[in-house]
Structure 1
């Protein structure tokens, strides 16, 4: 009686498209843009197809590439190495980096809000300086 084992690794079971997509995701949005540009240079329908795929999958305007790769890396790094001191150091470093990322994203949001408020205040000041006689029609 022979045991049925899976001699084919998981990565080779994935199609070439899935492997290519995962590879580009691990490199980030810049790799997707470079692939699209190269597609346009060598054969424009390939570049166009990549552009449509990037828009459809929300890779063009979203943060999906970096977020996905960060989550995948985080999950693969969650396994123990057997060295408790290193595992503790790694866990603390990852926690600190996540906290810094959250703080930085909050800072960027406050910066955007301040810029929006300044632009709105400038608009309201310009509007207040205009003569009000122009609003009436004859």
Structure 2
């Protein structure tokens, strides 16, 4: 038995939908909106399908390239500038900001825990009051 392997240049090429999606992502949210409007103008179900797809894939309410942009910004923050005094200041400031972020997150966690405990205590007190009231009435 022989197996047939496809070695043509089109074997690993993504489909037209994936290529169109990547092209629109590269152009930004405006291209998605323009495609949707044109879809409504020429054949309204296409525009409606694009609208639903944009909402479903979260392209309508967020930047298409948000992950790559934030990664690029993070890489730029770690690149040395060539000025040793500034690099030391930047390193110290970033360390201090990370420490403050961890302290703030710990504060929020303690705040959530205190709120949960207060809600639980209130529930237990209400439950005990109901039990006392039902025992008094009986």
TM-score by length of 2: 0.52
Runs of 5+ in structure 2 lacking a partner?
Answer: 1-21, 41-46
> Relative to 1, partners in 2 of residues 1:46 and 1:92: Cα closer, same or farther, differing over 3 Å?
farther
The structure with the largest alpha-carbon Rg is: 2
> Relative to 1, partners in 2 of residues 1:116 and 1:72: Cα closer, same or farther, differing over 3 Å?
farther
Which of 14, 17, 27 is the aligned partner of 2:25? 17
The alignment's C-alpha RMSD in Å is: 3.7
Runs of 5+ in structure 1 lacking a partner?
Answer: 1-13, 22-34, 60-64
Which of 54, 57, 62 is the aligned partner of 1:53? 57
SS in structure 2 at match of 1:131: helix
Structure 2 match to 1:115: 115
Report how many residues are paired.
95
Q: Distance in 2 between matches of 1:19 and 1:111?
A: 43
Structure 2 match to 1:30: none
Q: Distance in 2 between matches of 1:114 and 1:46?
A: 46
> Relative to 1, partners in 2 of residues 1:124 and 1:72: Cα closer, same or farther, differing over 3 Å?
farther
Q: Distance in 2 between matches of 1:49 and 1:106?
A: 38
Q: Distance in 1 between matches of 2:118 and 2:104?
A: 21
TM-score by length of 1: 0.52
Structure 1 match to 2:131: 131
